[in-house]
Amino acid sequence: MSPVRAVLFDRDGTLVHDVPYNADPARVRPVEGARAVLAELRARQIRTGVVTNQSGIARGLLTEADARRVNRRVEELLGPFDVWALCPHGPDDGCLCRKPRPA
């Protein structure tokens, strides 16, 4: 069994091509190799997660429901993740959940 228990990924520009402030599930396109890497991790029973800053929600450019639809599309294309962590705040909001802050 791997000593690595989980791998946390960024979403935009890492698992899927970056579409700034994407609110449209139809525009989700996985990056080359993402499916294969995730399949390998899952086969080794390593948990996977996505950690994503979505400041477009704070900016009023998309809703949390839009972001959830986009995330569902990511899972349709790349399979289920064990955890999702999404920061809906802007960079000046002072929250603790925006990467790279710990929450």
For the question of residue 10 being annotated catalytic, the response is yes
The tokens for 26 are 């139809």
Q: Least distance (Å) from Zn ion to the CB of residue 79?
A: 26
For the question of residue 12 being annotated catalytic, the response is yes
Q: Is 48 helix (H, G, I), strand (E, B) or coil?
A: strand
CA–CA distance, 87 with 85 (Å, rounded to integer): 7
CA–CA distance, 87 with 79 (Å, rounded to integer): 21
Residue listed under structure tokens 């349709």: 76
Considering the complex, state which of residue 48 and residue 53 has its C-beta at the smaller distance from Zn ion: 53
Cβ proximity of 48 and 40 under 8 Å: no
Q: Least distance (Å) from Zn ion to the CB of residue 5?
A: 25
Q: Least distance (Å) from Zn ion to the CB of residue 101?
A: 8
- What is the contact surface with Zn ion in residues (CB under 5 A)? 87, 89, 95, 97-98
Considering the complex, state which of residue 31 and residue 95 has its C-beta at the smaller distance from Zn ion: 95
The residues annotated with a catalytic role in the active site are: 10, 12
